[in-house]
Structure formats: C-alpha cells, structure tokens
Structure 1
Amino acid sequence: MPTVPESTKTSLAQKLTARARTAWPKLAGPDIRYRGQFAYVDGELADGESIKLMRLRYGGSAGTWGFALYLASTDKYEDTILPTGSLAGTPEEALDCACGLYLTALGI
C-alpha cells in the first residue's frame, strides 16, 4: 500500500484547485486530507459550508487515482465507476463526477 508522496500531494492540490476554479466556480475550493494511500476531498462552498465529495486512492501514479464517492446515506465512501467507465481516472475527472452529482443536486 503506497502512501502519497509530498510532491504528489502538492500536484493533486494544484490540479483540483485549478479544475474547481474553471469548471466549478461556485466551489470556493477543495479541502484535501490524507490517510495512507487515500486522499479525502471535501468541497468548500462560498458560504463556508463544507461537503464531503470523494475519496481518491493513490496507486503509485500522480495522474491516475482510484475513485470513490461519498454517500451521505451510509456516511461511507463507495468505489464508483467514472463516466469514462473506469474505476480509476484523473483527479479532474473524479472532481467533475462528484461535483456534477452533489453541486447540481444542491442547485449550485
């Protein structure tokens, strides 16, 4: 189980912040915390509220991550297939999928 290197943490934060800025302007930014091989991503809304979005699984590549959505109904993360049909993809694809579901549902 590889842990996420510091350089990859920096890269991930930059990628998700840039994507949020361009594709999800109502999102004030991502908040990322790490535990082992996982990066947990919450979305900070303009009003200061924070919502859980997804969990990314690091597999040794900064460009491809496993993807799991946060399910409020169970308060757990569930491995999920991206719209591309894969269980892994770019951080930007994962953010688009999660925000497309959660921010659209909130009317943001």
Structure 2
Amino acid sequence: MPAIPESTKHSLAQRLREHARARWPQLAAVDVRCRGRFAYVTGELADGERLPLMRYRYGGSAHRWGTAIYVAGSNSYEDQIWFSGSVEDAFDFVCDIHISPITPEP
C-alpha cells in the first residue's frame, strides 16, 4: 500500500481537528502525524497532558482507513478489524474509551 498522499494527510488532520472542537471540548488540541501508510493521532488536554489515542492505516483512498486503538498497558496499538464507519466515528469511539465524555447537566 502506498504512503498517504499529502492532500489526504491534510484533509484527515483538518477533519479530526474540526470534529474534536465540536464534540470533544476536553481536548485543547489534536495532533495527527503521518509516517508511511499510518496516521497517529494524539490528543492534548488543557493541562498539556498528551494522550496517544489511535492509529489509522491508509487503505488507498481518503475514505478507506483501518483503525487501531492505543493500549497504554502494552504501549502499542490494537487493530480493530471489526470497526466500520467514518474517521470521525472511529475517533469518537476511541475518545469514549480514553477521555471521559462530558454529559449535559439535567
């Protein structure tokens, strides 16, 4: 599989940052760094703590990605071959695991 094209790298990072601003106010920033066919996503909390969240594996198109969840106990990524959905859906799933969602007050 080829490396992620530059336009796709920028598009992915922009989509995730916009989505995080709208849905995950606990995150002060989202960093997406790419290496080969992988895109590693790290969230930054307001206090500066950085949390590895997930890794995307480029599937040859901006709409085809494999996902892997960061597992702190093993300091590695666990592939999620069963997951299907958008990159934003995968991001939400991982943030639900790694970051406490903010629940609206009644």
Does the alignment reach a TM-score above 0.5? yes
Superposition pairs for residues 25-40 of structure 1, below 5 Å? 25-40=25-40
- Structure 2 runs not aligned, ≥5 long: 102-106
Q: Secondary structure at the match of 1:60?
A: strand
* Distance in 1, Cα, partners of 2:58 & 2:96: 22
SS at match of 2:60: coil
Match of 2:67 in 1: 67
- Alignment of 1:96 onto 2:55: no
Q: TM-score w.r.t. structure 2 length?
A: 0.88
User: In structure 1, what is the equivalent of residue 104 of structure 2?
Assistant: none
Superposition RMSD in Å: 1.5
Q: 5+ residue gaps in structure 1?
A: none
What number of residue pairs does the alignment pair up?
A: 101
Q: Cα gap change, 1:28/1:21 in structure 2, threshold over 3 Å: closer, same or farther? A: same
Q: Output the CA distance in 1 between the equivalents of 2:47 and 2:86.
A: 28
- Does the 8 Å contact 1:68/1:79 carry over to 2? yes
TM-score, scaled to structure 1: 0.87
**Distance in 2 of aligned mates of 1:59 and 1:103:** 27
Would the alpha carbon gap of residues 89 and 2 (structure 1) be closer, same or farther in structure 2, given more than 3 Å must change?
A: farther
In 2, Cα distance between equivalents of 1:35 and 1:52 = 15
* Greater gyration radius: 2
Percent of aligned pairs with the same residue? 55
What do residues 7-60 of structure 1 show as CA deviations (whole Å, max 9, x unaligned)? Answer: 001100110001100110111121111111000000011111100000000011
4+ long deviations beyond 4 Å: none
Deviations 1:84-105 (A, max 9, x none): xx43432101110110111028
Alpha-carbon distance in 1 for matches of 2:83, 2:66: 6
Q: Which residue of 2 aligns with 1:49?
A: 49
Letter matched to residue 94 of structure 1: A
